[in-house]
Structure 1
Amino acid sequence: MAQDRENQGDVQSVRRGLLQGAGLTAALALLGGAITPAQAAEAGPFPAHKRWKIVFVNHVTTNPFFVPTQYGIQDAAALLGFDYQWTGSANADVAEMVNAVNAAIAAKADAIAVPIVDPKAFNTPIQKALDAGIPVFAYNADAPSGSANPRLAYIGQDLYLSGYQMGERIVSLVDSGLVGLFIATPGQLNIQPRLDGALDAIKKSGKKIDAQTIATGATVNEELSKIKSFFLGHQDLKGMFAVDAGSTQGVAQVMKDSNLPSKGVHGGGFDLLPRTVELIHEGFLDFTIDQQPYVQGFYTVLEAFVFLASGGLVGPANINTGLKFVTKGTVDPYLTTETRYEGKSTKPQIVPRTGPIKA
């Protein structure tokens, strides 16, 4: 599944407001100057450097959620003079991911990024990489608090908190009855903390909500099938909510197919797959939560660059990529723009904005 992205031709656009005062390279890019990646590595304020290579290991390499993540990697790599590789597993196979990390070490990568989706499996290979002088960053999923995993920093959402806040939103929508909570791969650290947070919030509410957990699988088609089957066997349910992108899209589709909002059923989940956004606009899903996958790629490359450029003197630092509820009342900007930042366009662009900024 490895896909090398080398010798990118043009500097890609910088995410809005990302790097104020980012230097000559970013300034010229914003002004329309054409700079090759090799030139980007030589432009001020940084001295010329080798084309470092960062290997991104992923747990679901073909999942549409990670399309904007890959665009973020591409853009930062072009800006900072990097090559990159996108590799790992297509179906959340931890052994395949560990093998990919070991392969990156053997190939003498300059940096490695990996979602730590298993609480122990990555401890040894990450330590092996660090011992070889290769910095390793976690993105999208992190090791449990207090674990022995030696990764340098985590770039991603506070997963438990996001799940807890989703649970609070569920409680505000549903007074009692059966609620289905869908999760692609139970136990994996990119999504299990969300489920744990949601269940804790529901329990703390004291409401008579029967929350049942349903595993859906690692592919979008499989997820939709499992969600349909659960609904057909539990047509008295009061809500369907998901903690991953593919399952959320599946929930939205089932909500539409059976017109469940008209029957008082509520639904919601995570991430901004195009179909999910459309069905929120049409009123078939109450909300989704944006965790900004673009910057999970961009910021990770940026952290690797600063670490390598400073000889390890600067950083690394954890970065929380945020939590934002998207509802029918706030979804329109996601429909009226097609950008790399949300994975709906390949075209590099600076997106103009108007009106006040809402926190």
Structure 2
Amino acid sequence: MNFKSLGLTVLVLSMLIFPLAALGEGDKGEAETTTAKQYVFYQVVHGGIAHPFWKVVERGAKEAAAQLPDVKVIYTGPDVYNYEDFMAIVDSAIAAKPDGLIVTITSPQGMDETLRRAIGQLNIPVIAINAKDSRPEDERIPYISYIGESSYDVGVALAKESLKRNRPKRAVFGHHAPGSIPIEERAAGFSDTLKAAGIPVDVLDIGPDPVEGASILLDYLKANPTTDLVYPASTPHIEAFIPLAEGEGFVAGKDIMIPSIDISPKILEYIVNGKVMFTLDQQQYLQGYVSVHLMYLHVKYGHTPPPLLPTGPGVITKDEVAELKR
């Protein structure tokens, strides 16, 4: 997906959201004489809620809620990625019996029973964001819509965009969230694509801590000196890895080629100075923002959202960085 098609997605979303949301304006006079219902939506994410990526999702959700005076959004998740903690928070959210649940499906099979009970027995509508249930439609969790990326396709795009720029001798994919199905799908897309091109690749568990992960990757490079394509994982991991590797004599952009997923000011700086080849943007702000609006339209007006709204990936190179800064 390029930025033109991403722009089309945003246009379609605005056509869905704003005309229908305007219906609520006509209710204001009546609302003044009656007690308005307050809709409560929980948005539960699996990543650490203080992580820069998830702070953008939170901003999207809260800015959407600010536009809807009869909506309260409770944005929550574990401090760092931990599946057991995440599921405990999902269970607590369901126990609160909200009007809607927006959630990342980080483990479809593990979350299946819990979410089916919420949907089927408690009549809580569910929208998935960021991570979906990739099983066939007749087997997957029956949420009403998914807003986000295809994790496997992102891994494929990561590999293909890398191959356009350089044919590596060996590659490694840093896996920062072991047990997270979307990250495993992303790793599979990356590995399958490179292996099909005859390039050996390893998927390396490096954990959620960026500094520890960078050290594990550096040890891997020293043990596998032909490795010249490195995906160090999330943006904080990349930001920790590059200075550590360069301190050991590796030159980012020359000795090792580094692709990225997601955006941060530092990643954009690295793209401009050639240390990072490109990044893939999944527009996580839209995942937080649009899901709140679509849930609101569903519970208040009975609107059924599209089953799938892709938000990425868009490829950002040095040329696009200049455009983004305008």
TMscore range, shorter length: 0.7 to 0.9
Partner residue of 1:191?
183
2:321 to 285, 310, 331: 331
Letter in 2 for 1:103: S
Partner residue of 1:78?
66
Q: Does 1:285 align with 2:276?
A: yes
Partner residue of 2:208?
218
Partner residue of 1:275?
266
1:69 to 21, 37, 57: 57
Return the offset for 1:84.
1.2
Letter in 1 for 2:276: L
Dislocated runs of 4+, deviation >6 Å: none
Give the Cα separation in 1 of the matches to 2:301 and 2:82.
Answer: 35
Partner residue of 2:3?
none
Q: Does 1:294 align with 2:281?
A: no
Gaps of 5+ in 2: 1-8
Partner residue of 1:53?
40
Return the offset for 1:176.
4.3
Give the Cα separation in 2 of the matches to 1:333 and 1:300.
Answer: 27
Letter in 2 for 1:150: P
2:132 to 129, 136, 142: 142
Return the offset for 1:183.
1.5
Give the Cα separation in 2 of the matches to 1:180 and 1:277.
Answer: 22
Return the offset for 1:127.
1.4
Instruction: Check 1:118–1:16 CA distance in 2 against 1; reply closer, same or farther (3 A cut).
Output: closer
Aligned residues: 305
Per-residue deviation, residues 14-71 of structure 1 (Å, max 9, x unmatched)? x985525825988xxxxxxxxxxxxxx9534787552211111111222111111111
Instruction: Check 1:132–1:260 CA distance in 2 against 1; reply closer, same or farther (3 A cut).
Output: same
Per-residue deviation, residues 237-290 of structure 1 (Å, max 9, x unmatched)? 211124533334344445655452464421102000222111111210101100
Gaps of 5+ in 1: 1-14, 27-40, 338-359
Return the offset for 1:223.
2.8
1:179 to 166, 171, 185: 171
Give the Cα separation in 1 of the matches to 2:147 and 2:21.
Answer: 24
Letter in 1 for 2:214: L
Instruction: Check 1:126–1:276 CA distance in 2 against 1; reply closer, same or farther (3 A cut).
Output: same
How do residues 196-207 of structure 1 correspond to structure 2 at under 5 angstroms? 196-205=188-197, 207=198
Greater relative contact order (Cα 8 A, min sep 6): structure 1 or 2? 2
Q: Secondary structure at the match of 1:307?
A: helix
How do residues 1-359 of structure 1 correspond to structure 2 at under 5 angstroms? 19-20=14-15, 22-23=18-19, 43-44=25-26, 48=31, 49-60=36-47, 61-81=49-69, 82-130=71-119, 131-146=121-136, 147-205=139-197, 207=198, 209-254=199-244, 257=247, 258=249, 260-261=251-252, 263-311=254-302, 313-315=303-305, 317-334=307-324, 336=325
Q: Is residue 242–residue 270 contact of structure 1 (8 Å, CA) maintained in 2?
A: no
Q: CA RMSD in A?
A: 2.7
Q: Which moved more, 1:313-322 or 1:46-55?
A: 46-55
Percent identity over the alignment? 24
Q: Secondary structure at the match of 1:90?
A: coil
Give the Cα separation in 2 of the matches to 1:293 and 1:275.
Answer: 18
Give the Cα separation in 2 of the matches to 1:117 and 1:245.
Answer: 19
**Greater fraction of residues in helix:** 2
